Amino acid sequence: MGELGAVVRGTKEGIAAITAMDKRIELASLKALKASQSAAKSSIKAKMRGRPRWDHRGKSARTGDSVKLHLSPHHVSKSGGPGRLTGRLSGGIGGVRRPKPLPEGGFQGGVGAGGKLQNLYKRQVEDKYPYIKPGVRAAEPKMAAAWELAWAKAIRA
């Protein structure tokens, strides 16, 4: 029997192209994750806006100085969220600034409410007037679009 031989050219260039595309995909994943975090963060904050339903009379360690909104009556019992009183809770909504790389590839990030004063009342507000879960749900279409766009650019470049 005879021998069959083949010459393959361009393997170095092919490997270099695949390596470059892999780096572009990693960078695109990081950018898409940050864009997703930003979309979720702004959507959550949008759910927290509105006129407060009550004044905060008297200084407290939790909310600071008294806030007079000149509501009449001082407590309004209509439905709806608590509104924005001091802005500390909505100011505490943030994302991971430096997403951590995972061993199997990709990155891990997140969005949440932070800050030491917010820890006292963020759960109670979330229980009565959910703002995180509806905010993330509203941002999901934007998140999917960000991932599709970033990966499409990385693969086609």
Per-residue pLDDT tens over the stretch 43-99: 988 887 776 666 666 666 666 666 666 766 666 665 556 666 667 777 888 899 999
Contacts 24+ apart (CB under 8 A), 70-78: 77/53, 78/53
pLDDT value, residue 124: 74
Q: What is the mean pLDDT of the chain?
A: 82
Q: Report d(CA 46, CA 43) in Å as an integer.
A: 5
pLDDT value, residue 13: 92
pLDDT value, residue 8: 82
Where is pLDDT greater, at 67 or 32? 32
The tokens describing 44, both together, are 């959550």
> Is residue 65 domain-shared with residue 119, that is, in the same domain?
yes
How many other CB atoms sit within 10 Å of the CB of residue 8? 6
pLDDT band at 122 (very low <50, low <70, confident <90, very high): confident
> Is residue 115 domain-shared with residue 77, that is, in the same domain?
yes
> Is residue 54 domain-shared with residue 73, that is, in the same domain?
yes
Mean pLDDT of 92-116: 87
> Is residue 122 domain-shared with residue 145, that is, in the same domain?
no
Domain membership flag for residue 17: yes
Q: Would you say 135 and 125 are in contact if contact means Cβ atoms under 8 Å apart?
A: no
pLDDT value, residue 112: 85
pLDDT score of 147 more than 60: yes
> Is residue 123 domain-shared with residue 75, that is, in the same domain?
yes
Q: Looking at the 3D structure of the chain, how many domains does it have?
A: 2
To which H or E segment does residue 90 belong? helix 88-91
Mean pLDDT of 147-157: 90
The tokens describing 125, both together, are 């507000």
Q: For residue 63, which amino acid is it?
A: T
pLDDT value, residue 109: 93
> Is residue 79 domain-shared with residue 122, that is, in the same domain?
yes
pLDDT band at 37 (very low <50, low <70, confident <90, very high): very high
Q: Report d(CA 157, CA 153) in Å as an integer.
A: 6
Question: Which domain covers residue 69, as residue numbers?
Answer: 50-86+110-130
Q: Would you say 137 and 41 are in contact if contact means Cβ atoms under 8 Å apart?
A: no
Helix, coil or strand: residue 36: helix
How many other CB atoms sit within 10 Å of the CB of residue 111? 21
Domain membership flag for residue 3: no
Q: Report d(CA 130, CA 125) in Å as an integer.
A: 7
> Is residue 56 domain-shared with residue 76, that is, in the same domain?
yes
> Is residue 15 domain-shared with residue 73, that is, in the same domain?
no
> Is residue 16 domain-shared with residue 66, that is, in the same domain?
no
Position of tokens 């009449």? Answer: 72
What percent of the chain shows pLDDT beyond 90? 40
The model scores a pTM over 0.85: no
Q: Would you say 111 and 40 are in contact if contact means Cβ atoms under 8 Å apart?
A: yes
> Is residue 41 domain-shared with residue 58, that is, in the same domain?
no
> Is residue 54 domain-shared with residue 126, that is, in the same domain?
yes
pLDDT value, residue 113: 82
